[in-house]
Amino acid sequence: MAIETRNPVTGELLKEFRSWNSTELDSVLNDVAQATPLWQKTTLDQRAQHLRAAASLLRKNQEQYAQLITMEMGKVIAEARAEVEKCATGCDYYADNAAEFLKDDMIESDAGRSYVACLPLGTILAIMPWNFPFWQVFRFAAPGLMAGNTVVLKHASNTPQCALAIEQLFLQAGLLKNVFRTLLISAEQTRSVIEDRRIHAVTLTGSETAGRRVASVAGACIKKTVLELGGSDAFVVLEDADLDEAAKVAVKSRFLNSGQSCIAAKRIILVEAIADAFVERFVKLVRALKPGNPLDSDHHIGPLARHDLRDTLHEQVRDSITQGATPVLGCKVIDGPGTFYEISILDNVLPGMRAYDEELFGPVACIVRVKNEQEALQMANLHKYGLGASVWTRDVARGERFARDMQSGASFVNGLVKSDARLPFGGIKGSGYGRELSRHGIHEFVNLKTIWIK
């Protein structure tokens, strides 16, 4: 089976790779297994040096990596550059802080001395998506490698060149051979990797459907998993909010990466007192966005990553209009060789409509109108997902109370929901479990081992 990478702007086949057979896969897993104890014996200082070298290479070759990201999945070039820099920042963060995060935790007990040690688990399988093809990998790999684990990466089938570039980057940064390997395998082969005795845990960023499958297989093998799945973030605007600022951030949040982000503002929930005024501002700003070739710095919105993704999005929009949503802007496929979709706004979106109940992965904003703050909170929590959320109000104490009551892994008051290496990232409910980043993320894949000494 071939693994293809196509330019989503033109549909042109860029490169084709042959999927490995079972013998080739087994050989690589065996190589990684042999490298694992060697990597575990390296010191934290040695690992940190490699991560700092990786950060330096990311910055040195930023344009090269950004161009590769844009060519494979269509991200506008400015956002691709920012993604590469974010990876470098993440490497530096764990190089600087992992020693503190992983130090022995001394605890008084009936022992002469007792403590908890953070020891590596072994080899972690990372199943990663295409929408942030570098950052999603580094978000796990930086803490995972610093903790002493080895990594095998099953990347999205449409970003194999990004996956191979990351492997090569880590080699150039001085990592031992086979500490980080990219697996050129099909989705169907992934199950056997999860079940393999040489794999000790699994991390997945992807769809809810993929999460259920991975958790089921890993659970049957009693292997630890961290799942970061879908999202339909609530963006709640209360009547005392700064509407100009809220509208500006709502546009950035919803249309970043052409709307292909798990933590985008997918449900913009407005109390009726300011709904019309907000929508007027929002529509004006959205109309100023320019779709087009993502390599052109004048364009804000690129294509969707694949044709099937665009087809699914259009079905969701079309069905939602049939169900009663009001099309305000766009809501059509852009004709041409690429996978472009019109920048779109749906108003009067309600539970029961596909635009509300499902995740819309593309440049489509949904307006939800409610009567008051109480109804806004109920609507924000009325969803199967719980990844991120935000609330907008000039009363910061009010916003903090509201944020604590929102059912999400992260709640932001008057700010853009984003990932930050210093803060834990992850969701609840259908958005998954476990955390990435910060101290909490590096602890997900270590053996918190009790040492008791008389």
Kindly list the catalytic residues.
Answer: 228, 262
How far is it, in rounded angstroms, from Cα 238 to Cα 407? 17
What single string gives the DSSP state of each residue in 256-271? GGGG--TTS--EEEEE
Whose tokens are 């009010």? That residue is 398
Question: CA-CA distances (angstroms) from residue 314 to 318, 334, 339, 355?
Answer: 6, 11, 11, 11
Q: Give the SS3 label for residue 14.
A: strand
Amino acid in the structure at residue 329: L
Strand partners, 151: 124, 180
Please tell me the distance from the alpha carbon of residue 425 to that of residue 407, in angstroms, as a whole number.
14
- Which token pair is 58? 């990311």
DSSP sequence for 48-83: HHHHHHHHHHHHHTHHHHHHHHHHHH---HHHHHHH
The tokens 């041409």 sit on which residue? 336
Q: How far is CA 434 from the centre of its chain?
A: 13
Strand partners, 388: 410
Over 407-438, what HEC string results?
CCCEEEECCCCCCCCCCCECCEECCEECCECH
Interacting residues of 235 by C-beta distance below 8 A, sequence separation 6+: 250, 253, 254, 265, 266, 267, 268, 269, 389, 390, 392
Helix, strand and coil in the chain, % to nearest 5: 45, 20, 35
Q: In this structure, are residues 210 and 94 in contact, taking their beta carbons and an 8 Å threshold?
A: no
Residue with structure tokens 């449409």?
Answer: 158
Distance of CA 415 to the CA centre of its chain: 18
